[in-house]
Chains A and B, each alone.
Chain A
Amino acid sequence: MEIMRLVVTGPVGAGKSTFIRSVSEIEVVDTDRRATDDALLIKKRTTVAFDFGRLQFGPDMALHLYGTPGQSRFDFMWDILIQKAHAYILLVAAHRPHEFREARRIMTFMKQRSPVPMIIGLTHTDCPGAWDAANIALALGYPNPARRPPVVAVNANETASVAEAVIALVQYTWAGSLAPTA
């Protein structure tokens, strides 16, 4: 049985824990605690170590999903989790443009530590004030649509939508391993 470790990262309230809960076949191992910081503006509880979920992917492959905390004070967890990851998805809430900088910071942190493939998942795309994919990619530092990671819209509450994002990430990873880009 092959195991592929996928990391779900992104700023506070992007939907990382929800993402994993929606798609995991086992009861998710979560480490959320009552929030006392700015996260309170968005939600009541926040992840302090990691979330863990599992998904069987075909007959001989299992996906292990690790969700990171969002706050940068937990960047030692980002480091621990990305070291062993085979790929990761950066979740960004499309309707909170002031967080794009933070998302970009997380992405830079991950890139400095790991060369594994990444895709961008946009959550909250149905909320008022949501930016479109091209503009968010631009804000994250990808001005050229031809040279950027895949950007997928995902509803973290919907199993089917999350599954699609996971499949996109796995396919992108496989495509990269078949034809390595210089």
Chain B
Amino acid sequence: MAISTEKLTSILQNFVTSTTDIQGAAVVTPDGLPLAATLPGGMDEERVSAMSAAMLSLGERIGSELARGGIDRIFVEGDKGYGILTSCGEDAVFLVLADKAAKQGLLMLEIKRTLADLKAVLM
């Protein structure tokens, strides 16, 4: 079955609009091409996708090389907010951009839920 971009996009839009303090989200291929994205204005989808793939691959490499095991997520904490990367099955990477005000526990829970939805579409 073909992957439905509309479904992916609608899951992302839902996620971004219904969760407070989330500013954007994207699903990209592990080699850094966009599959679907809802990003804040001014962010280039191609660039965001490539960066997500590069970051996750390095993180996974650190996991294996420095004996940290399999990587659940990469967490980038800045003074203006968070960037969270999660592997979404073999064929996709999930990026979430959140505000500094976001509650981390809630954020992780929402990410986990959305991941399940995304995986169902990507299968």
Whether a CB of chain B sits under 8 angstroms from the CB of A29 is: yes
User: Does B46 lie at the interface of the complex (its beta carbon under 8 Å from any beta carbon of A)?
Assistant: yes
Annotate A54-81 by CB proximity to B: 1 below 8 A, 0 otherwise: 0000000000000001010110110000
* Residues 27-51 of chain B, each 1 if its beta carbon lies under 8 Å from chain A, else 0: 0011111000000000000110111
Residue of A with least CB distance to B56: A48
Complex contact B47–A48 (CB within 8 A): no
Question: How far apart sit A30 and B32, CA to CA, in the bound complex (Å)?
Answer: 15
Let me know if B108 is at the binding interface, CB within 8 A: no
Establish whether residues B54 and A36, one from each chain, have CB atoms under 8 Å apart when the complex forms. Answer: no
Query: A37–B55 Cα gap in the complex (Å)?
Result: 19
- Count residues on chain B whose CB falls below 8 Å from chain A CBs: 17
Number of residues on chain A facing chain B (CB within 8 A): 18
* Contacts A33-B31, A74-B32 given; does A49 touch B47 at CB 8 Å: no
For B32, what are the chain A residues with a Cβ–Cβ distance below 8 Å? 33, 48, 71, 73-74
Question: Which B residues fall within an 8 A CB radius of A?
Answer: 29-33, 46-47, 49-51, 53-55, 57-58, 61, 65
Complex A-B: 22 CB contacts under 8 Å: A29-B61, A29-B65, A31-B54, A31-B57, A31-B58, A31-B61, A33-B30, A33-B31, A34-B30, A37-B33, A46-B31, A48-B30, A48-B32, A48-B54, A48-B57, A69-B54, A71-B32, A73-B32, A73-B47, A76-B47, A76-B50, A76-B54
Give the top 7 A-B pairs by smallest Cβ distance, nearest first. Answer: A31-B57, A49-B54, A73-B50, A33-B30, A33-B31, A48-B53, A49-B58
